[in-house]
Structure 1
Amino acid sequence: MLDAFDPGAKGLAQSFVGSLELSDGALARLESGQNVRRYLDSLLAHGLALDALVIIARALPAQLVVAWGCESLRQSLEGSGPAVDTERAGLALAEQCLKQPTDENRQLCLDFAQGVRRLTASAWMATAVAWADGPLTPPGAPVKVDAPARAVGEAVVAALRMAALHNSQDPSAQLATYATRALTLFGPRTAKPS
């Protein structure tokens, strides 16, 4: 279990989320003495799933946030047609790069994302996985520039948000499903009473 998702953790949500861009509604729910998990539970209970995703993505290490994002995206892809086929192709590239993070696979992910102008959820997932294990700069560049720590999580949130908007009748509920899945995978399902 990750400490941030432990309902008994001592770390305060205020210090953890201080540098994150959250909605006014989410900031209004932040209470003194509240840990991250209790704050996440409160956000989800009040329909602020997008804010919960931002926090979850920041709390998870890069490899875990990408793996969770890929799984979430795969579970939300339904149907067939060119748009869904494009999403599946991008997701397959992202999952391949997650398993084998070579320069070649990272470049394939970045080429795919650029080819679809980052207009698909899987393009952002492919971008996230490429950034998670490698530099922003192309192979052979004289200077390697790593992605900022928050960039991977932000790309995953962009992918999940786009997927919820395009693939769901109720995007807010879909975002909550993604968040709940992360809490189930990486922490206890519900917070214990104080």
Structure 2
Amino acid sequence: MRALLNGGDEKALRLRIGEDRKFHHACGIIRALRRAGPEYFDREAIRKTRDDARTIIDLIDRLDETLRSEALAPEIRLRLALEKAPDANTAKAPADRLLIALSDVRELCRAGEENQPSADQVRIWCARIAYSLLDRFSEETPASGSPRSPYRVLAALLYEVLTGDADHDLKRACDEHLRGMRTLQHE
């Protein structure tokens, strides 16, 4: 399994294990995780999402403030329909349409900024996927009591595939996920 996880010869590994549908399914999950993981869940990606969201929010706020400013040139105010008659249809005014659209963009960016986790998402996802694989394909219940438990070993192998960092013990992420699963089972 380690050979496949590290990009080894899948055919040779398949011959040793045999044509097992569970094996193919597990390989598919690992491939999908390898493609998606680093791009969205590493600390730099999370930090960049937060920073970009804050930058966009700041720019929108500055533009909103500028468009609402009385100091804007009269010609620009007329062109953008910022001066409205009391009975005017404001939905057709270019500046109003822009401000409504930017308000939606601001809310999306706020959600992107606020919903970013502080923990290392790669570790958390590796613990979740390892649990899922063991739950589906093993007769034993996943446990993380020992560094050599199948759950922690598989989580660490998945982490190595995604990050290139070998020999990481994902005890905390595995324990957290197990606690969450126990809580769900008792509800």
TM-score (norm 1): 0.23
When you count helix as a share of all residues, which structure comes out higher?
2
Larger radius of gyration: 2
